[in-house]
Structure formats: structure tokens, C-alpha cells
Chains A and B, each alone.
Chain A
């Protein structure tokens, strides 16, 4: 079975600090896609970053970057220079060959002023 595990239910960091959210997944597929979605309080879930499994280079989007370790099936998200607006629930997700998304349980991140 394909699963996504986020081992940190909740985290808090001070504004401007760097924070890393962990994610591991399990699949027997070789070609797949990984995502981090963010859901701010009472707002829409939005895509933060995506990674294609066949690409070795880690994806980056401004202050957001990933550490993709395919052999270890690990896909962590690093947020640099964290801002108050980064406070949200973060979901790690895996897209299988049928384009279904499998989500982790989420990590609730609080950025403290």
C-alpha cells in the first residue's frame, strides 16, 4: 500500500528562523510526483512545491525548498526566513500512476512573532 507519513503533528518556530518539516512515503512505483500543500487557517489549500521523482535536483520556490532522498523515500520541506504568513497546516502528498493524491496527516506549523 502507498502511504505518506508526517511524524510531526505540530511545530512552532520564531519568525525569521528556518524550519524543516519531515515526510516519508512508501511506494513500489519508480516514477511519481511529490507535493507539499499548505492550508492557512480558514483558507484554501494551495500548492507550495512539487518534485518529480525522476529529477535528482531538489525543487526550490523562493524561501521553500525540499530535500528529496529517493532511496530513503524521504521528502522534507525547508522554509527559510519564516514569516507569520507561513502559519498553516502543511500536507505532504504523493501522486501515484493513476493521478490520485495520497496525503499525510499534516503538520500544523505556528510561526511566532
Chain B
């Protein structure tokens, strides 16, 4: 059983589309992270949040603690957004990672 589940696993979108990636978790958390991994392997932290909503440029992350659910939204998607997006939760002791959502944005 995975402590963190993401959906969809794969997503293809046309440039300009609004994209949503979902993350559900089953453990009590102190924080949830959204990470971006490009084909070269490097991982960049996009957001760390424990409540509410955060926005950075075209990216928006929301979390509902009661429902144990988070969403990552990308507005006006662009081919350079193509990457794997990983949801990770921290319980206070350790991290649990989702398997990632592979996003491809087509020009």
C-alpha cells in the first residue's frame, strides 16, 4: 500500500491548457511538497505547504488537510512544463513519495 497516491500517472496536454494533478495521502503530515523532475533527473522543489493555497507564477498548489488531498494546477501550460511532478509528504519523521505524474505539453 502506498502512503501517497497520485493521479493521473501520465498526462498529455495542448499548450495553453489548464492542468490539474492530484495527490492523496493516508498518513498524518506536517507538510506536503510538490517536486518537479526533468528528464535529466534533477529535482526542484516547487511548493511546501501545510494548509490552504500557494501560488508561484503559473503554478498553484492547494491542500485540504481534512480530506488528505492536494492538487497542483498549471495555468496556460507550456512545453517547458513537461516533466514529472512528484507529491511528497513529511510526517515529522520521514518523507513518503508518490510515483509521479509524467506531464507532456504539446506545442
Q: A and B, one complex?
A: no
